[in-house]
Structure 1
Amino acid sequence: MKFRLLAGASVLTVTVALSGCSGGSDDKAGDGSGGGRSELTVWLMRDSVSATFQNEFTAGFAKTHPDIDLKIQIQEWDGIGQKVTAALASNDAPDVIEIGNTQVAQYAQSGGLLDLTDKKADLGGDAWLKGLAEPGAWQGKQYGIPFYAANRVVVYRKDLFQQAGVDPTAIKTRDQWIAATEKLNKDFQQGIYLTGQTWYALAGFIWDEGGDLAVQKGGKWTGALDAPEALAGMEFYKKLQTLGKGPKDADEANPPQAEVMAKGKVAQIISVPGGANVIAEQNPALKDTLGFFPIPGKTADKPGAVFTGGSDLVIPAASRHQDAAYTFVKELTGDAWQKRLALAMSYVPNKTSLASAVASDPGAAAMAVGAAEGRATPNTPGWAAVEAENPIKDYMTAALTGRDMKQEAAKASEEMTRAMNSAS
């Protein structure tokens, strides 16, 4: 699952001269191990890397692996699901594909991906971000290799915080966050702009309470919004949401929350750091007033749990050059290129041990702190059906508008259960 607004730029353009978007090549050379040349076809998604980074990596890869001809083909996010499904079922699949981290399970279930479990140690898998590594696995086997991550932080107005006497560096707990937001919520100013259906933020609060969106029991997935822990997460969401004027029946895209903040009357939003770029584009006067801090947790010893978006790299089982494909994956997800990618794109690197690589980037640094407590949506192919219907959003609106929270949570959980198991 990919966030489209990242810290480096709100829109990134990648231009490459490539022939078509076909799958694997027809060369009969070796696997890149020195016994002959391999032509390696790789699908990367639009905006995942910049043209500059792509060129640097391609040149570096050619120098260290002269027996592999690398062809990177940029794919569009719209319609990619059907395209990947078709490629995995064909005899002409590309050799490496970038896919959203929460999509790995559905492709692994089809049997179209190469099992890379025995490569985890070689790739430093013990240090991978949990929010990328866990959804990259399916039924105990690792298919997706963490590529990069992004998650939400608090984007705030430094000037409004100063005027209210609020020190953002002192906000370490959710209680402190509420107290600070109450101070900021005055006159015509919103302490926070939080819509009623920002369900990724709700997921984090539920995880903080020890709950989950859904749980697996006896091989069956069941919605869990009516569990006590999940209800406690919703109670906190409700408390925070009332400290602003966000609509209770819309998500953060309707209207775009960064555009709302750009109007000058909002002290903070929950967003990926790239939201700050949109705010500055809409209102240049705010460019130097924007800062970031991790979403606070229940206690000061760790930040709040966040949904980890980002991508994994997979190798199709039908790849004709699996050894060369693994060489590519190992290079791009290795420490050296991960550090360069993180700085170039303001991403969170794929390992917790590399967090210091983005220390000079305030937005990415705040993301990296939160990423250590990152999670993903329930790891089931059926989750796509839940997001398509998204009863979570309707539940949140109902809870925020005075309807019985527990009753509405039970109703939404039943709908989630049906969706997950009918799809699986």
Structure 2
Amino acid sequence: MKRKLIAAIGVAGMVFGMAACGSDDDSGDGKKAGAEGYAGQTLTVWTMSGSNPPGWTKTVTDEFEKKTKAKLKIEVQEWNGIQQKVTTALSESNPPDVLEIGNTQTPAYAKTGGLAELADVKKEIGGDWPDSINAPSVFEGKQYALPWYFGNRVVMYNKKVFKDAGITETPKTRADLFKAFDAIKKKGDAEPIYLPGQNWYFFDGLLVGQGVEPVKKEGDKYVSNLSDPKVAAAMDVYKQYQSYSKAPKDKDEATPQQAEVFAKGKTGAIIAMGYEAGTAIKANPKLEKDIGFFTIPGETADKPEGVFLGGSNFAVAAGSKKQDLAKEFLKIALSEANDGALVKEAGWTPKSEAMQKFAVGQPAAEAAGPAAAKSGGTTPLIPEWAPVENPPNPIKSYMTLVLQGKSSADAAKKVEGELNKRLSQQQ
């Protein structure tokens, strides 16, 4: 989800071994582990606002409390200011036991010692997640979190606008999509696509598609890689998309909310997360029947466009005194049945091919799945990345400069000083 600056912390990690069901091992606070062994305990779980829908929450809570005889206390947090709140919590003697953290935040927290290792839980769950899904949970070869949910962007389009422009088939390639935009533009009744100049996560997907990262390692440090020709190639694709839009070149998709722009009915498409349909429908209920989704097409029909896989992991605080109970929660929360229920209820992207069956009837999730499986990736999975996306994100500035007429090389030179400063965490 949101990836913001995470200050370094020093945490003395106390990791308890997982007790076998029915054993006489102590659970960490004087209670015996196993069935009935957690009675009287309370497990505290931090989730972020909007992450745990009511149906999923009730099912998981009921299963957990029935199995363990312990209580589950879910405390919902707001994203604003969460990095400092988590940092502080992990440094205290009584942190929350389980925490939701943005998937690309994991390396920064793991580096400081704030998270417990979870390889044993992953093995027991049998998570067959692709590397692109599991990689953000791993730091220096060790499993410090487990993927909870994720989503990637799709084309959310207005069926009526496409039909009125004579578009009868879903675009299968990038060229097909641009032809559709040309047809909408020629018709003259709607903006082909609303795409502001700083939709950074769409651009990151284009970088993934080009097989390049915005940073590179030189010696023992990371520095800007924006001068790489593949970065320029990704920006050229973004520039083609943006040429069909009247959106501001110096704003992102939240200023204003692009779904609310789409809701006016005069936009052919936006590059969106599935949940943005709800925002549009709330603003204009009459639009519901006209909203459709399809996978962002790539250069060829056999490979969708690269996409950024944004989402959240579950992690266990290294300082938690209820390590075993926390792991019992994870086994329940991340079971195939409950993962599937989350896909159905919230529309998140299935985490594996086996989970795709749960996306049936969820148009956004069905559209997101192919790109996630074939073309998904993330931002650089390094602790040094965390400061980069703090506003004003220098890569967003790079994008605006190119769209305003600067060459990719000149724009890169303009921002690389700030990008390098952030990568060295010398803000």
Q: Distance in 1 between matches of 2:354 and 2:306?
A: 18
TM-fit CA distance, 1:112: 1.2
For 1:197, give the aligned amino acid: Q
1:237 aligned partner: 238
Q: Which range moved further: 411-420 or 309-318?
A: 411-420
Q: Unmatched 5+ residue regions in structure 2?
A: 4-26
Does structure 1 residue 95 correspond to structure 2 residue 97? yes
Alignment of 1:57-72 (within 5 A): 57-63=60-66, 65-72=67-74
Moved over 6 A (4+): none
Q: How far apart are 1:328 and its partner, in Å?
A: 1.0
Give the secondary-structure state (helix, strand or coil) at the position aligned to 1:135.
Answer: helix
- Separation in 2, partners of 1:262, 1:218: 49
Normalising by structure 2, we get a TM-score of 0.88
Offset at 1:340? 1.1
Is the 1:202–1:237 Cα contact (8 Å) retained in structure 2? Answer: yes
State yes or no: 1:199 paired with 2:195.
no
Pick from 40, 45, 54: which aligns with 1:51? 54
1:263, CA displacement in angstroms? 2.0
Distance 1:365-1:423 versus aligned 2 partners, 3 A rule: farther
Q: Structure 1 stretches of 5 or more lacking a match?
A: 4-24
Distance change >3 Å, CA 168–CA 306, structure 1 → 2: farther
Change (3 A) 1:351 1:217: farther
Residues 206-252 of structure 1, C-alpha deviations (whole Å, 9 max, x = no match): 22122122233433212222211110000011111101211111111
Aligned partner of 1:184 in structure 2 is 184
Residue 134 of structure 1: aligned partner: 135
Label 1:249 to 1:36 Cα distance change in 2 as closer, same or farther (>3 A): closer
**SS state at 2:117 partner:** coil
Paired-residue identity, %:
41
Partner of 1:280: 281
Q: Which residue of 1 aligns with 2:13?
A: none
Q: 1:386–1:416: 8 Å Cα contact kept in structure 2?
A: yes
- Out of 391, 395, 399, which is 1:396 matched to? 399
Amino acid at match of 2:62: A
Higher deviation after alignment, 34-43 or 339-348: 34-43
Which digits, 9 at most, give the CA deviation of each residue in 1:51-82, with x for residues without a partner?
Answer: 3321222112222x134332222222222222
Rounded to whole Å, the distance in 2 between the matches of 1:111 and 1:26 is 19
Change (3 A) 1:272 1:31: same
Q: Give the equivalent residue in structure 2 for 1:314.
A: 315
**What is the CA RMSD across the aligned residues, in angstroms?**
2.2
Aligned AA for 1:306?
Answer: V
Q: Deviations over 1:279-327 (max 9, x none)?
A: 2222222221110011112221121111111110001111112122111
SS at match of 1:240: helix
The 3-state SS of whatever aligns with 2:370 is helix
Q: Secondary structure of the residue that 1:122 maps to in structure 2?
A: helix
Distance 1:71 1:261 in 2: 38
- Give the 3 Å change call, closer, same or farther, for CA 118–201 of structure 1 in structure 2: same
Indicate if the aligned counterparts of 2:121 and 2:331 stay in contact, CA closer than 8 A. no
Measure the CA separation in 1 of the matches of 2:230 and 2:54: 45
Inter-CA distance 387–71: structure 2 relative to 1 (3 Å threshold): same
Q: Which amino acid aligns with 1:173?
A: T
- 1:415 aligned residue: 418
Cα pair distance change 1:412/1:129, threshold 3 Å: farther
Contact 2:192-2:267 within 8 A present in 1 as well: yes
Aligned to 2:86: 84
Corresponding residue of 2:15: none
Segment drifting more, 328-337 vs 406-415:
406-415
Q: CA deviation at 1:118?
A: 4.3
Distance change in 2, residues 1:32/1:84 (3 Å): farther
Instruction: Check whether the contact 1:225–1:413 (CA below 8 A) recurs between aligned residues.
Output: yes
State whether residues 121 and 327 of structure 2, in contact with CA within 8 Å, keep that contact through their aligned partners in structure 1.
no
Equivalent positions of 1:18-417 (< 5 A) are 28-32=30-34, 34-37=36-39, 38-63=41-66, 65-125=67-127, 127-169=128-170, 171-186=171-186, 187-372=188-373, 373-388=375-390, 389-417=392-420
Given the superposition, is the C-alpha separation of residues 408 and 87 from structure 1 closer, same or farther in structure 2, using an over 3 Å criterion?
same
Match of 1:10 in 2: none
Measured at CA, do residues 215 and 31 of structure 1 come closer, stay the same or move farther in structure 2, by a change above 3 Å? farther
Q: State the Cα deviation string for residues 321-348 of structure 1 (Å, max 9, x = none).
A: 2122111112111211111111112122
Give the deviation of 1:387 after TM superposition.
0.8
Please give the alpha-carbon distance, in whole angstroms, between the structure 2 residues aligned to 1:348 and 1:57.
19
Q: Deviations over 1:141-198 (max 9, x none)?
A: 11110001112111101111112222343x2221222122111223242111111111
In structure 2, do the counterparts of structure 1 residues 46 and 32 end up closer, same or farther at CA, with 3 Å as the change threshold?
A: farther
Per-residue deviation, 1:32: 4.4
1:401 positional shift: 1.3
Query: After alignment, is 112-121 or 292-301 more displaced?
Result: 112-121
Once residues 66 and 386 of structure 1 are traced to their aligned partners in structure 2, the CA distance between those partners, rounded to angstroms, is 42
Q: Amino acid of the residue matched to residue 334 of structure 1?
A: S
For residues 399 and 335 of structure 1, the distance between their equivalents in structure 2, rounded to whole angstroms, comes to 44
Query: Is 2:47–2:74's contact at 8 Å kept on the other side of the alignment?
Result: yes
Corresponding residue number in structure 2 for 1:17: none
Aligned equivalents of 2:167 and 2:417: distance in 1?
A: 42
8 Å contact from structure 1 (residues 206, 233) kept in 2: yes
Counterpart Cα distance in 2 of 1:248 and 1:411: 17
1:150 and 1:303 mapped to 2: Cα distance? 15
SS of structure 2 residue aligned to 1:226: coil
| CA contact 2:35–2:68 (8 Å) conserved in 1 | no
Distance in 2 between residues matched to 1:248 and 1:211, nearest whole Å: 23
